[in-house]
């Protein structure tokens, strides 16, 4: 039975994202808002003493990000497929510009840190562009057959490797791995043959071993990689961070130390970059196993939901975009939480929707906007139906160019509501 | 079928993968927070907890009336702490700016910045390492350690300059316009930061004891000076400056690893300052507030930037102060003594110069002939005032002195070098560390020995016969010694009292010849002139009695004459061997020379000719018998100098030969002569007080021995010493005390010890005691190159006047009737 059901607004995803933001709000508040001496004071007085400035900014980033996501949702996602070549080239140019500019004045001016540091990074936005262009290419070449020809496989890889190489040259190892993860997951979802992926993995491993043994990698680069894998090699840097984060995390125990607990490591700034990379340690210390476990559960639910959505949409471009966004969030979540519990190596990667920081918050919300846009315009199918073949639809681009498909999105919403109320009437619930 | 379809959807595969991954994470989270949570909680608490060691205040050093000579005062240090999480290049660059700014701020306000960097610049402007050690293996070890914590590869950066330029330009980004000298200071701070990398919460001290202005400026600029803070510490203050500097001493850093290990075992920190001279050093364990039992701790909670957030008052332990040390010293008397000594030295110098100019041609001729063409002028000296009844040191001067405050403030290298290389050795306490030939002041010891051993009686009369020949063989061509008095007939029929008054050498030649060296040395050692005095000061030199052991002992490090003999022999042997066409290593000659010298103390000291030739035959393969006999006689002449003989003995009797004494040893000797034969340890510490003022220990006089000698003998010696300074009796120092108001109330003795062939360079001694009837103080004045013993009288004169005047004043006060007839 090919029951079709128009997606409508993807409330489950929205609910999960808002929940994660809520946890992040309190974690950041706890890390930055310390009200000072709270002994013998009423809740109201304490509230007055709290420093709201960071959470306020954080909320503003989230609010603007939500607006962006809604705009993205309302515009028909197929329109983005048309924009991809321009976006892709523009982003590559920016990345090259960053690389050239940064290497010329390496370490001499401070604005590079603020502009190309963690707050405003072109490589962040590149993640979204990468997801869109990969989704477009992969769906175009694989929609008909359900798999990729080797020639197409190689061509798409060549295109994907350009931004990857640029961030590697920027020495931004963490982001490079995010790109790689997104690329591999999307290839996998697009139906690339497993042997192709294994072959690629083997070739990459071989190239890496060759680069290492033939001393193409400089000693400092090797050192960076070694420290990345084993923080204890750098006891005053990464190792120090790791050890403090682990201690904070563990000391939270079941219920956590609570907000603004005097003497908590988050209160004494022991946790490094505690509003960003190590925010999960703050959650672990403040809200204990219950809080940290809840965050883990929320992420798992979000990822399962996104993959489920991806797996139930027949329009392959949209399905792959959801898969790419899911991959992006998944990697961030796994790495950021994993390094706080000692399961992953240390690298500076924020926890989606939770960590403080504008560009990452926007990037993730833009991704969610894409997801919502896809869900709004596609019916969900069962697994069995999907076997009957996926397609790559560019119809909207011919029919409904004016207004970026806003009319169709309105129609989709109305249609979904009508269907839902009909279903309720039919099944009595 | 449905399930198969589910499996075919790749998105579902990914769901499985993530369920598995999150499952693993969940288990790890559980282990971390639930299983091991308590452990981490404990660890998180200990990481925030710091025990800060607090040292107690160092005790004061006070004179006998409680006048402070040294105390500790609160001071401010400038420290730097690096945030351990800030390791990026930009962070280092920012920190370098902070350090640079701080250094400039400190230096612009006249304070000094600590430079403990291993990288330094030598005089030529070359970059060199300075490790503070010289031994090759120690240098290698330090360099290796340093390279390790600095992360500097020895292959890539082999030289100091390589390290400097790399650290300066690449690693720490010191701007190019900064001069090398300033850059080295910045690198010194960075070096100390790197050396505590694993405990980076430990602050690095940039400057100590800075002015209030610097403190205020640092506090004012604290916003931009990230990591820089002001810490309280203490500085040692010596309110009297140079006064009694050699007795008080000063503090310094632990100089070597052994000291550090020893002090750390007592609970010191390696950065603590310890006493390195004077009472500061010898009473370290009493004064110190850094010793384990006196240190306390502050237990605090700190944040990641090491800022103290909370105090655990209940766990903190306050530090206790060190004890105060009260000296036997009287600051007032000390002031007088130092003034008098300085005036005395200047006066003698003028006399010397006048005497030199009066007979310049003769002196210049002698100077031209010897290796040292400069006259050794009277430029330094020492004086001691001792309580004869207890051995307590009332005053002790050593000129020139130094200002211990220089060390307290952190002495600059050039200032230290000026002190170390001054030819007058200002850092040396000459009252205890300078050994000098005593000359005639030794004659009381010879007198006592002669009387006790029955060589002479109080009635024995000896007339000066000019040349003393008793020890020479009949018809010997050798010249015997004679008295300083040319008209020896004037020294006729002398009793021991007359002989002391006249300081007649002939008399004492005869006495010591009659005694022999063993019996003479027995009494000399009974009077304490064979050891140190036991004064509570570091670096005391012992007195040395004249005998074979002092002249030459092959089993001890060779000094003075034996070294000369050895060098003569080496030169002689080499010349002879070359004549014979043979060549050996220098070490071979040295070995042979030492073997030959040993013959001087071989069992049969008179018949060593055969042994001597054997050595030459075996060691240097010299076989020609003619050559051997010539060499044997030449060498014998050298060796003969090393053999103690009667000539040495009789010279010892007048305080010459190899006899050496210190002013402090002589003060004790004089005390024993006039207090009834009681030999005390010299004592500088009176008592030790608890910080609250309570008495912890009151030091008692340490009597070593009481000589069992008839009082008549001591009375005769005292009488002789009285006549020395008496005008009517015409003693040797009479003219120096002409018209002195306290004549008759004291006794004394001059000593003029010959040290070279120029009489201007003679060492001058004057010793005395007062009052005459019930002696209370002994005064010793020693002026190296003081020309003549009587020249040293003026210091003694000033001190006798000072003491007796004061005594008279206090005596009157004591006997004044008080109100209601009570006395007080």
In a domain, B633, yes or no: yes
User: pLDDT digits over A36-46, tens only?
Assistant: 766 677 788 87
**Overall average pLDDT of the A392-411 stretch:** 59
In chain A, which residues have their Cβ closer than 8 Å to the Cβ of B2? 383-384
In the listed set B603, B619, B640, which residue is the last one of a domain according to the structure?
Answer: B640
Nearest CA in chain B to A319: B11
User: pLDDT digits over B499-532, tens only?
Assistant: 999 999 999 999 999 999 999 999 999 999 999 9
Closest partner residue to A251 among B18, B29, B44, by Cβ?
Answer: B44
- CA distances B323 to B15, B59, B246, B265, B749, Å, are 76, 5, 20, 20, 41
In a domain, B184, yes or no: yes
Residue B567 domain boundaries: 551-640
In chain B, which residues have their Cβ closer than 8 Å to the Cβ of A276? none
Contact A252 B89 (CB under 8 A): no
Residue A394 domain boundaries: 5-427
pLDDT, mean over chain B? 88
- CA trace torsion B1, B7, B10, B13 (10° rounding): 160
* Residue B223: other Cβ atoms inside 10 A: 6
- CA distances B730 to A138, B491, B509, B736, B770, Å, are 128, 12, 22, 11, 19
Determine the pLDDT at residue A110: 29
Cα distance between residue B165 and residue B172, in whole Å: 10
A31 and B CB contact within 8 Å: no
Q: How confident is the model at residue A298 (pLDDT cuts 50, 70, 90)?
A: very high
**Overall average pLDDT of the A69-75 stretch:** 91
Selected residue with higher pLDDT from B402 and A359: B402
Determine the pLDDT at residue B662: 95
Cα distance between residue B618 and residue B621, in whole Å: 5
Nearest CA in chain A to B194: A236
In a domain, B220, yes or no: yes
Contact A250 B41 (CB under 8 A): yes
pLDDT > 70: percent of chain A:
85
DSSP percent split of chain B into helix, strand, coil, nearest 5: 45, 15, 40
SS3 B234: strand
pLDDT at B796 over 60: yes
In chain B, which residues have their Cβ closer than 8 Å to the Cβ of A109? none
User: pLDDT digits over B175-216, tens only?
Assistant: 989 988 899 999 999 998 888 766 656 788 899 888 889 999
Range in A250-254, B22-26, B359-363, B807-811 the model is least confident about: B807-811
Contact B25 A296 (CB under 8 A): yes
Determine the pLDDT at residue A428: 63
User: pLDDT digits over B541-559, tens only?
Assistant: 999 998 888 888 888 888 7
pLDDT at A107 over 50: no
User: pLDDT digits over B269-315, tens only?
Assistant: 877 889 999 999 999 999 998 888 898 888 888 776 666 777 888 88
In this structure, which long-range contacts are made by residues B156-161, counting pairs with CB atoms below 8 Å and at least 24 apart in sequence? B159/B127, B160/B119, B160/B126, B160/B127, B160/B128, B160/B129, B161/B126, B161/B127
Closest partner residue to A311 among B11, B30, B43, by Cβ?
Answer: B11
Range in A84-88, A387-391, B269-273, B439-443 the model is least confident about: A387-391
Determine the pLDDT at residue B345: 95
B16 and A CB contact within 8 Å: no
In the listed set B198, B222, B238, which residue is the last one of a domain according to the structure?
Answer: B238
Q: Which two tokens stand for residue A41?
A: 């004071």
pLDDT at A295 over 90: yes
User: pLDDT digits over B31-50, tens only?
Assistant: 999 999 989 888 888 877 87
pLDDT at B561 over 80: yes
Closest CA to A118 of A361, A362, A366, A360: A360
Q: How confident is the model at residue A117 (pLDDT cuts 50, 70, 90)?
A: very low
Closest CA to B508 of B439, B441, B438, B443: B443
Cα distance between residue B70 and residue B286, in whole Å: 14
- CA distances A320 to A197, B30, B313, Å, are 17, 34, 62
**Overall average pLDDT of the B656-676 stretch:** 93
Domain total of chain B: 2
From the candidates A342, A371, A383, which should be mutated to test the interface with B, based on the most B CB atoms within 10 A?
A383
Closest CA to B301 of B673, B48, B499: B48
Q: Which two tokens stand for residue B752?
A: 């003029």
**Overall average pLDDT of the B85-100 stretch:** 85
**Overall average pLDDT of the A151-165 stretch:** 91
In a domain, B103, yes or no: yes
In chain A, which residues have their Cβ closer than 8 Å to the Cβ of B21? 334
Determine the pLDDT at residue B821: 39
pLDDT at A400 over 50: no
In a domain, B493, yes or no: no
Cβ contact B382:B338 at 8 Å: no
**Overall average pLDDT of the B221-236 stretch:** 86
In a domain, B708, yes or no: no
A239 and B CB contact within 8 Å: no
Q: How far is A190 from chain B (nearest CA, A)?
A: 9
In the listed set B640, B672, B692, which residue is the last one of a domain according to the structure?
Answer: B640
Cα distance between residue B727 and residue B740, in whole Å: 10
Alpha helices by DSSP H, listed for A4-77, are 11-32, 43-49, 53-74
User: pLDDT digits over A313-333, tens only?
Assistant: 888 899 999 999 999 999 999
Q: How confident is the model at residue A175 (pLDDT cuts 50, 70, 90)?
A: confident
Contact A263 B45 (CB under 8 A): yes
Cα distance between residue B717 and residue B675, in whole Å: 12
In chain A, which residues have their Cβ closer than 8 Å to the Cβ of B24? 343
Q: How confident is the model at residue A114 (pLDDT cuts 50, 70, 90)?
A: very low
The sign one gets for the Cα dihedral A320, A323, A329, A335 is negative
Selected residue with higher pLDDT from B311 and A220: B311
**Overall average pLDDT of the A104-126 stretch:** 51
Selected residue with higher pLDDT from B208 and B780: B780
């Amino acid at each position: 039975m090919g029951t079709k059901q128009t997606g409508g607004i993807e409330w489950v995803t929205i609910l999960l994202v808002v929940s994660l933001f809520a946890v992040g709000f309190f974690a950041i508040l706890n890390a930055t808002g310390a009200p000072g001496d709270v002994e013998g004071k009423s809740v109201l007085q304490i509230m007055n003493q709290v420093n709201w400035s960071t959470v306020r900014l954080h909320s503003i980033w989230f609010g603007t990000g939500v607006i962006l996501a809604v705009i993205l949702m309302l515009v028909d996602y197929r329109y983005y497929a048309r924009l991809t070549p321009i976006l892709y080239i523009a982003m590559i140019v920016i990345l090259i510009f960053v690389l050239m500019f940064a290497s010329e004045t390496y370490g001499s001016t401070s604005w590079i840190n603020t502009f190309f540091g963690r707050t405003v990074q072109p490589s962040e936005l590149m993640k979204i562009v990468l997801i869109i262009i990969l989704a477009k290419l992969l769906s175009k070449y694989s929609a008909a057959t359900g798999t990729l020809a080797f020639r197409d496989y190689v061509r798409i890889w060549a295109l994907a490797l350009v931004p990857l190489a640029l961030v590697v040259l920027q020495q931004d190892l963490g982001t490079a791995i995010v790109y790689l993860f997104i690329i591999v997951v999307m290839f996998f979802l697009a139906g690339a043959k497993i042997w192709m992926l294994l072959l690629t993995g083997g070739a990459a491993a071989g190239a890496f071993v060759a680069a290492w043994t033939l001393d193409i990698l400089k000693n400092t680069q090797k050192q960076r990689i070694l420290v990345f894998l084993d923080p204890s090699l750098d006891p005053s840097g990464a190792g120090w961070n790791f050890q403090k984060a682990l201690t904070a995390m563990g000391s939270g125990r079941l219920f956590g130390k609570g907000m603004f607990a005097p003497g908590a490591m988050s209160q004494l700034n022991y946790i490094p970059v505690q509003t960003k990379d190590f925010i999960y340690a703050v959650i672990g210390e403040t809200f204990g196993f219950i809080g940290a476990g809840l965050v883990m559960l929320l992420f798992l639910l979000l990822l399962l939901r996104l993959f489920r959505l991806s797996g139930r949409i027949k329009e392959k471009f949209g399905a792959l975009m959801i898969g790419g966004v899911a991959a992006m969030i998944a990697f961030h979540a796994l790495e950021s939480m994993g390094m706080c519990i000692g399961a992953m190596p240390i690298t500076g990667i924020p926890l989606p929707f939770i960590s403080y920081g504008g560009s990452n918050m926007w990037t993730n919300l833009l991704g969610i906007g894409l997801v919502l846009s896809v869900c709004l315009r596609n019916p969900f199918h069962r697994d069995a139906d999907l076997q009957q073949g996926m397609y790559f639809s560019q119809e909207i681009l011919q029919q409904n160019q004016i207004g970026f498909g806003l009319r169709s999105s309105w129609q989709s919403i109305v249609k979904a509501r009508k269907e839902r109320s009909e279903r309720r009437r039919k099944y009595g619930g | 079928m449905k399930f198969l379809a589910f499996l075919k959807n790749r998105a579902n595969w990914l769901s499985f993968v993530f369920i598995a991954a999150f499952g693993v994470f969940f288990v790890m989270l559980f282990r971390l927070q639930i299983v091991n949570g308590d452990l981490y909680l404990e660890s998180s608490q200990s990481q925030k907890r710091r025990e800060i060691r607090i040292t107690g205040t160092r005790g004061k050093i006070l004179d006998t009336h409680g006048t402070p000579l040294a105390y500790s005062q609160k001071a401010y240090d400038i420290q730097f702490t690096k945030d351990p999480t800030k390791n990026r290049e930009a962070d280092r660059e920012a920190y370098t700016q902070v350090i640079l700014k701080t250094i400039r701020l400190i230096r612009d306000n006249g304070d000094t910045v600590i430079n403990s960097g291993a990288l330094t610049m030598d005089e030529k402007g070359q970059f060199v390492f300075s490790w503070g050690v010289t031994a090759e293996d120690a240098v290698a070890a330090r360099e290796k350690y340093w390279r390790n914590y600095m992360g500097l590869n020895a292959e890539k950066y082999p030289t100091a300059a390589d390290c400097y330029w790399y650290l300066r330009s690449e690693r720490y980004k010191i701007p190019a316009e900064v001069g090398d000298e300033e850059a080295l200071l910045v690198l010194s701070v960075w070096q100390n930061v790197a050396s505590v990398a694993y405990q980076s919460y430990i602050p690095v001290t940039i400057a100590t004891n800075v002015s209030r202005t610097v403190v205020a400026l640092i506090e004012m600029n604290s916003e931009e000076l990230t990591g820089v803070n002001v810490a309280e510490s203490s500085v040692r203050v010596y309110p009297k400056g140079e006064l009694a500097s050699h007795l008080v001493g000063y503090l310094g850093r632990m100089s070597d690893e052994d000291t550090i290990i020893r002090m750390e075992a007592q609970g010191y920190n390696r950065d603590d300052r310890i006493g390195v001279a004077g009472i500061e050093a010898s009473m370290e364990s009493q004064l110190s507030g850094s010793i384990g039992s006196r240190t306390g701790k502050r237990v605090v909670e700190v944040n990641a930037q090491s800022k103290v957030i909370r105090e655990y008052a209940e766990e903190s332990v306050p530090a206790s102060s060190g004890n105060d040390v009260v000296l036997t010293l009287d600051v007032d008397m000390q002031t007088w003594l130092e003034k008098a000594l300085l005036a005395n030295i200047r006066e003698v110098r003028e006399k010397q110069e006048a005497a030199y100019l009066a007979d310049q041609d003769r002196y210049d001729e002698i100077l031209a002939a010897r290796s040292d063409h400069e006259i050794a002028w009277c430029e330094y000296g020492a004086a001691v005032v001792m309580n004869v009844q207890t051995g307590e040191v009332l005053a002790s001067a050593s000129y020139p002195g130094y200002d211990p405050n220089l060390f307290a403030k952190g002495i600059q290298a050039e200032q230290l070098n000026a002190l170390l290389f001054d030819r007058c050795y200002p850092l040396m306490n000459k009252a205890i560390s300078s050994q000098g030939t005593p000359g005639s002041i030794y004659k009381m010891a010879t007198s006592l020995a002669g009387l006790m051993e029955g060589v002479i009686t109080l009635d024995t009369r000896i007339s000066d016969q000019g040349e003393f020949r008793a020890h020479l063989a009949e018809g010997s061509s050798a010249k015997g010694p004679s008295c300083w008095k040319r008209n020896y007939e004037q020294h006729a029929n002398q009793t021991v009292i007359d002989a002391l008054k006249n300081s007649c050498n002939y008399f004492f030649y005869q006495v010591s010849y009659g005694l022999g060296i063993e019996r003479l040395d027995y009494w000399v050692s009974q009077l304490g002139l064979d050891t140190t005095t036991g004064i509570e000061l570091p670096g005391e030199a012992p007195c040395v009695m004249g005998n074979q052991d002092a002249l030459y002992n092959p089993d001890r490090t060779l000094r003075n004459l034996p070294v000369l003999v050895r060098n003569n022999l080496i030169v002689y042997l080499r010349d002879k061997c070359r004549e014979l066409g043979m060549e050996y290593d220098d070490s071979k000659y040295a070995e042979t020379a030492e073997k030959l010298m040993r013959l001087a103390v071989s069992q049969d000291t008179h018949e060593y000719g055969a042994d001597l030739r054997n050595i030459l035959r075996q060691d240097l393969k010299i076989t020609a018998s003619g050559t051997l006999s010539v060499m044997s006689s030449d060498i014998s002449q050298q060796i003969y100098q090393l053999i103690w003989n009667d000539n040495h003995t009789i010279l010892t009797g007048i305080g010459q030969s190899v006899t050496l004494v210190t002013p402090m040893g002589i003060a004790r000797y004089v005390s024993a002569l006039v207090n009834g034969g009681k030999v005390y340890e010299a004592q500088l510490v009176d008592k030790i007080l608890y910080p609250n003022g309570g008495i912890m220990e009151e030091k008692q006089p340490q009597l070593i021995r009481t000589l069992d000698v008839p009082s008549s003998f001591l009375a005769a010696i005292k009488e002789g010493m009285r006549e020395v300074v008496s005008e009517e009796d015409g003693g040797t120092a009479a003219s120096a005390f002409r018209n002195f108001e306290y004549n008759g109330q004291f006794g004394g003795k001059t000593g003029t010890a010959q040290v070279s062939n120029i009489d201007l360079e003679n060492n001058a001694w004057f010793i005395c005691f007062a009052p005459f009837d019930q002696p209370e103080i002994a005064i010793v004045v020693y002026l190296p190159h003081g020309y003549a013993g009587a020249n040293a009288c003026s210091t003694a004169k000033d001190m006798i006047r000072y003491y007796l005047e004061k005594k008279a004043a206090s005596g009157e006060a004591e006997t004044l009737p008080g109100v209601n007839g009570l006395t007080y």
